[in-house]
Amino acid sequence: MKFHVMTLFPEMVEHGLNTSILGRARQKNIIAFDVVDIRDYTLDKHRRVDDYPYGGGAGMVMAAEPVVRCYRAIEEKILASGCKKPRVIYLTPQGQTFHQELAKEFATEEELVFLCGHYEGIDERAIETIVTDQVSIGDYVLTGGELPAMVMIDVIARLVPGVLNNGESPEVETFHDNLLEYPQYTRPEIFEGKKVPEVLLSGHHAKIEEWRRRQSMIRTDAVRPDLIEQANLTKKEWEFYKNYKESQS
């Protein structure tokens, strides 16, 4: 899978994507990155990409021309490689909120293009011309789209087969089944007087699984009660949850 990133800060994106698991996956050619500097596509002799907003107001707006020209260069490469016209994701607090299901949908694409904005935004005509999806990573405002793009790429890339190590499943984790993850422990058995829960030392796999599911339910109930409504629980688990809630009230 190939991720194209249109940005004014290519070094920031390159550095962010070159480390850890994504860096390893890139070296193994499981995923590829194409980080493109929008500034290379300005026709302005001073390489300016922003201008004052029509109608006045604070801040500067990224002009349509370099953005659209940059995209067209990327699109040309993609079409020449035999792939279809890509989805183009604009990172903006005005977009739909990113979530795991959306990541799964994007992970089925062969090529994705991310458009990172800066200043007060991008000329609307560029967005209308090239963008297929507007996505926010949460209800807060960042200084630019680079970190949100890296967040999305990280989430999507780990769903691509081969990116995680053998045995690591992208599914048996937080948000699978709409439950948060259970607590994890490693050695030593006692840390500053705190002991690892006995059941985890028992070697009894069914009991461990049951304990973990229950811990997941308890955590989800405490932090994200909205999720538990949609959780995929067995009858026995619902029974446990009901009793747990009653014991709490």
| Residue whose entry in the numeric block shows the structure tokens 């507007």 | 134
Q: State yes or no: residue 142 binds ligand ADE (CB under 6 A).
A: yes
Q: Tell me how far apart the alpha carbons of residues 32 and 1 are, in angstroms, rounded to a whole number.
A: 6
Q: State yes or no: residue 197 binds ligand ADE (CB under 6 A).
A: no
For ligand ADE, the binding residue among 10, 66, 86, 148 (CB under 6 A) is 148
Region 75-94 residues binding ligand ADE, contact defined as CB under 6 A = 91-93
Using the rule CB under 6 A, give the single segment among 62-70, 120-128, 141-149, 199-207 that binds ligand ADE. 141-149
b/e string for 162-181 if b means 16 or more Cβ within 10 A? ebeeeeeebeeebbebbbbe
- We find the least distance from the C-beta atom of residue 15 to ligand ADE, in angstroms, to be 19
For ligand ADE, the binding residue among 42, 136, 178, 216 (CB under 6 A) is 136
Structure tokens at 55: 């109608």
Q: Interhelix angle for 146-157 vs 20-27, to 10°? A: 60
For residues 64 and 149, which CB has a smaller minimum distance to ligand ADE in the complex? 149
| DSSP assignment letter at 21 | H
| Residue whose entry in the numeric block shows the structure tokens 């604070």 | 58
Using the rule CB under 6 A, give the single segment among 9-17, 119-127, 130-138, 194-202 that binds ligand ADE. 130-138
For residues 7 and 220, which CB has a smaller minimum distance to ligand ADE in the complex? 7
Closest residue by Cα to residue 170 from 21, 4, 13: 21
Q: State yes or no: residue 141 binds ligand ADE (CB under 6 A).
A: yes
- Spatial CB neighbours of 198, under 8 Å, sequence gap ≥ 6: none
Structure tokens at 18: 């070159």
- We find the least distance from the C-beta atom of residue 152 to ligand ADE, in angstroms, to be 9
For residues 58 and 141, which CB has a smaller minimum distance to ligand ADE in the complex? 141
For ligand ADE, the binding residue among 145, 150, 158, 228 (CB under 6 A) is 145
Residue 142 CB neighbour total at 10 angstroms? 16
Chain contacts with ligand ADE (rule: CB under 6 A) = 91-93, 136-138, 140-142, 145, 148
